[in-house]
Amino acid sequence: MSTDIRITDSHCHLDFPDFDAERDDVVARAVEAGVARMVTICTKLRQEPQVRAIAESYPQVFYAAGTHPMSAATEPMVTVEELVALADHPKFVGIGETGLDYHYTAESAEVQKQSLRLHIAAARETGLPLIIHARAADEDMARILTEEYRSGAYSCVMHCFSSGPDLAKAALDLGFYLSMSGITAFPKSHELRDIFAAAPVDRILVETDAPYLAPPPYRGKRNEPAYTTHTAQKGAEVFGMEWAEFAAQTEANFERLFTKAVV
């Protein structure tokens, strides 16, 4: 694989303890593999200073922050003002991740919805893209995203998209983006690959969600940003494109959405 080809890991978690012992090496391996940028995601606002410090330590790393839906009931409720204030930092490029997760935390659905709407308000006010986590909540997610968009436009990526075709269509109809993770490359993910194949290729991003969801041939092991290339190569197959062409397209897509991360 040519390292002249450049891609971006649009969603990873470099602050997680999985990387504490070798964070420098992890970033270096990503750059060597052609992953020229990484967006590391803060999932609890009290951890924002540590995540910000990581972004400040590496020219290739940017960051976003929010309250993950699985933590919405156990963390202080985020405020729009808090999120808007973070946007002053030059390496802060997105709002979230936020969203709805009814697979693990359905009991906190109402709190999750409240948190989600506050994140959307911050995305609308700052002009930064919203980063959405959706699991087992397709109907509510589509409804809230659509309702809020009618109240005022905002941009959004459905991170690690692995939901159904109806949510994909709702997001794409709003002009949002779908992000491919390692799940897309799993052998049994035929239906998910079909959903992506039916989407406009100018609305596709790639990511790792590292340290989770490593694509083949690393499935079951710790994921890291360098492995974005394996998911992106599967994406090229899904869209019937040459590797270099698909990589260039996802770069253009990322820069259109994450305008503060253009370097």
C-alpha distances out from residue 115 to 84, 95, 109, 128, 149, Å: 14, 12, 10, 17, 16
Query: What pLDDT is stored for residue 184 in this prediction?
Result: 97
Question: Which pTM value belongs to this model?
Answer: 0.97
CATH 3.20.20.140 assigned to domain 7-261? The reply is yes
pLDDT tens digit sequence for 13-56: 999 999 999 999 999 999 999 999 999 999 999 999 999 999 99
Contact 223, 30 (CB under 8 A): no
Beta bridge partners of 8: 37
pLDDT tens digit sequence for 81-112: 999 999 999 999 999 999 999 999 999 999 99
Q: Where are the domains of the chain?
A: 7-261
| CA–CA separation, 238 and 234 (whole Å) | 6
